[in-house]
Chains A and B, each alone.
Chain A
Amino acid sequence: MASLANPRLMLVILAAVFAFLYVPISVLVALSFNEGGLPTAWTGFSTKWYGELLRNGDIMSAAFNTLVVALVSTALATLFGSLLAVGVEIRRRKGRFLETIIFAPMIIPDIVLAIALLSFFSLLNVTMGLHTVILSHVVFNLAFVCSVVRARLKTFDWSIVEASTDLGASMPVTLFRIVLPVMLPAIIAGALLAFTLSVDEFIIAFFTAGAGRDSITLPMQIFAMIRFGVTPEINALATIVMAVSVVALTLSQRLNRGGLPGQ
């Protein structure tokens, strides 16, 4: 590629694209520390808007709900997704139908899954709340965990499993004592990815949380606040949410080099 590229032009392109990607979020982060809170005038550095967040009961309860949803759905998805990955990779024969089912949650438009689940829960007369959000989040979370774990299993040496079973270990013992320790970094990476996806997920939660005020998650709260305009509090909240995702996913990436979907 380098032979075709004009170095100066390449530098200009990179600078422009990175500016486009980073200026908007940097402005947001900078404004969250602006004492006066106005976007047009810098009046000094302050962390008071972060303090305001802690005193805002709606935000704190939404954050707590999000944490519950993310932790429970991640735990379930990590268990089911990892088992699924091992189950699929052990089989020599790959079924196209099976692949489609496993792949579908990652590509199906959020809004379609959201309304499908809403219709499903209401036709069954299920009262909706945080529990239905959890049930729904496990759907896409387990698919992502499965894909991260499978990526790592591609390079897994199955002969150690055969050795273990030849020596008389049962399948559960082999899974727990042989496969799990080797696969742990990938499983944790998958769990971190699932956790972030769940923390950030808005559309499906919005449709499956029901009407109650006590089942509002953080993205739902952010959406409601954004619609009323720009406030320094949202800037602070947005900065925290962004930091959490970036830290969790950087960790996930480090644990599992090259294993994230799309990488």
Chain B
Amino acid sequence: MQDRKPLYLMTPALAWLTAFMVIPCLLILALAFFRRGLYGGIEYTFTLENLALVFDPLYAGIFLKSAWIAGLAALIAVIIGYAAAFAIAAAPSRQQPILLFFAVLPFWSNYLVRTYAWIVLLNREGLITGLARWLGYDAELPRLLYTEGAVVVGLVYNYLPFVILACYAPLSRLNPEIAEASRDLGASGWTTFRRVVLPMTAPGIATGFVFVFVLSIGNFVTPALLGGGQFQMIGNLVYAQFLTANDWPFGAALSMILIAIMMGLLTLQTFATERASGAKREGS
């Protein structure tokens, strides 16, 4: 097969990706360094103003808040997801694929619909309010929808299945004899979990955390729907620059930062995973 040149098989796809992904992304990269025109257009003079503006206290605040929400959502998703993956991995091996299938099934349904489900639960005349009244709680409930908490819950809900998958992979590969050896040598169940199981399954946790964080920090649908109109995250800011404020260069600069955060985290995660597997190889 070596002598065949299968380039022509790849040409249509690679041409498509070049035209509709590589070039547009390079364009955005370039846009970030141009000046905003007087009437919302683009003035083709080089500037670093857009990137500097990103670090303006006004926008830095939105960045920090986005990172806080994304970090919180990732942390909660990882805790719940790891517990769920652990419980699935501890189930009889014939049930595991079925449990895993049903854990991932909601992930396959529409993102908007899954987010909308929480509006149904949390809104003022929603199910939770109804339930509280039915239980005899007549006082005014605190507002549930259009809060920071609602945004975090929505993000956790949407990305949890992925975390379960990511954590299940290393847990299911774990050799049970290692845990047994630790117990035989006198370690308690908790110590065995903390000192043996947890470090060996850390790559799955890292993958899950990075995934939720990256998808959350650039998200604009969940903040828009569950956070209410006033709630701003980076995704909403980018959205506004392109569709309402008409400051494309600044929007481009914001999304460059978003990409930089994403690539940084993914590189860090690859590095950590490689180190972990390298250490394992040396140890064996």
Task: Give chain A's interface residues, CB within 8 Å of chain B.
Answer: 1-5, 7, 10-11, 13-14, 17-18, 20-22, 24-25, 27-28, 31, 38-40, 79-81, 83-84, 86-88, 90-92, 101-102, 104-105, 107-113, 115-120, 123, 135-136, 138-139, 142-143, 146, 158, 161-162, 171, 175, 196, 199-200, 202-203, 207, 219, 222-223, 226-227, 229-230, 234-235, 238, 241-242, 245-246, 249, 253, 262-263
Per-position binary interface string of chain B over residues 21-32, scored 1 when its CB falls under 8 Å from any chain A CB and 0 otherwise? 111110110010
Q: Is B117 within 8 A of A83, CB to CB?
A: no
Say yes or no for B61: interface residue by CB 8 A criterion. no
Q: Is B83 within 8 A of A13, CB to CB?
A: yes
Per-position binary interface string of chain B over residues 142-184, scored 1 when its CB falls under 8 Å from any chain A CB and 0 otherwise? 0000000000000001001110110000010010100110010
- Bound: A39/B125 CA distance, A: 7
Q: Which residue of B lies closest to A197 (CB)?
A: B108
Name B's interface SS. Answer: helix
| Chain B hits for A196, CB < 8 A | 108
Known A87-B10, A119-B252; contact A14-B180, beta-carbon cutoff 8 A = no
| Chain A hits for B130, CB < 8 A | 39-40
- Bound: A216/B102 CA distance, A: 32
Known A24-B114, A219-B112; contact A139-B17, beta-carbon cutoff 8 A = yes
Say yes or no for B245: interface residue by CB 8 A criterion. no
Q: Is A1 within 8 A of B238, CB to CB?
A: no
- Bound: A147/B101 CA distance, A: 20
- Which of B47-55, B258-266, B275-283 is near enough to bind chain A? B258-266
Q: Is A24 within 8 A of B89, CB to CB?
A: no
Q: Is A20 within 8 A of B80, CB to CB?
A: yes
Partner of B20, one of A3, A39, A87, A135: A135
| Chain A hits for B176, CB < 8 A | 1-3
| Chain A hits for B13, CB < 8 A | 80-81, 83-84, 87, 142, 146
Q: Which residue of B lies closest to A230 (CB)?
A: B120
Shortest distance in angstroms between A225's beta carbon and chain B's nearest beta carbon?
Answer: 9
16 further interface pairs, Cβ-Cβ under 8 Å (given A112-B258, A139-B21, A242-B113)? A5-B87, A14-B99, A17-B84, A17-B87, A17-B103, A28-B113, A39-B120, A79-B12, A101-B17, A109-B258, A111-B255, A119-B24, A120-B27, A142-B17, A202-B112, A223-B225
CB within 8 Å of A: which B108-138 residues: 108-121, 123, 125-127, 129-130, 133
Q: Which residue of B lies closest to A132 (CB)?
A: B20
| Chain B hits for A116, CB < 8 A | 21, 24-25, 27-28, 255
- Bound: A120/B2 CA distance, A: 38
Task: Give chain B's interface residues, CB within 8 Å of chain A.
Answer: 1-2, 4, 6-10, 12-14, 16-17, 20-25, 27-28, 31, 80, 83-84, 86-91, 99, 101-106, 108-121, 123, 125-127, 129-130, 133, 157, 160-162, 164-165, 171, 174, 176, 179-180, 183, 189, 192-193, 197, 214-215, 218-221, 224-225, 235, 238-239, 242-243, 248, 251-252, 255, 258-259, 262, 266
Q: Is B1 within 8 A of A112, CB to CB?
A: no
- Bound: A80/B104 CA distance, A: 28
Q: Is B214 within 8 A of A109, CB to CB?
A: yes
| Chain A hits for B239, CB < 8 A | 111
Q: Which residue of A lies closest to B243 (CB)?
A: A207
| Chain A hits for B22, CB < 8 A | 101
Partner of A200, one of B111, B121, B224: B111
